Amino acid sequence: MKKRVPVSQIMTTDLITLTPKDSLYDAERLFKQHNLRHLPVVEGDKLVGVLSYSDLLKISFADVNESDEIDSVVYDMFSVPQIMAKALVTVEPDTSIRDVVELLTNQSFHSVPVVENGNLKGIITTTDLLRYFLEQY
């Protein structure tokens, strides 16, 4: 296995993002349309938060049912900035894949935004890491 490979070589760079002004309805649509679990929230190129699909499930008090629909009435009561994670752990593009794996192993989240000088450059997810490790075999 290669050593000290930077995360920039495997991170997702074709990002679907939200802004703080987007609605939770917009977020749900993007999650479902693109089969995503995490959406970075940006103002311009600056990362200001991350919204996860599980965040939406938590606020909607949803039970997973056959239609996999979220009871979205509660979406009118909250905004993206109220729900998104704001105290973010980020990495830089030159952070090694090994360091990111260690970080995710010790945390309860499944993605890490990749930021350079405060600007969002990409996101690394557990799926990105698994694909990388599969390619190594």
Q: Where are the domains of the chain?
A: 7-135
Q: Which residue has the higher pLDDT, 61 or 124?
A: 124
- Among all chains, which residue has been given the structure tokens 């929230």? 41
pLDDT tens for 74-106 read: 788 899 999 999 988 999 999 999 999 999 999
- The pTM for the full model equals 0.86
Write the CB contacts of 15 (distance below 8 Å, at least 6 apart in sequence): 40, 120, 122, 123
Between CA 13 and CA 123 the distance in angstroms is: 7
The tally of CA atoms less than 13 A away on the side-chain side of residue 24 is 24
For domain 7-135, the question of CATH label 3.40.50.150 is answered with no
Q: Which helix (H) or strand (E) holds 42?
A: strand 38-43
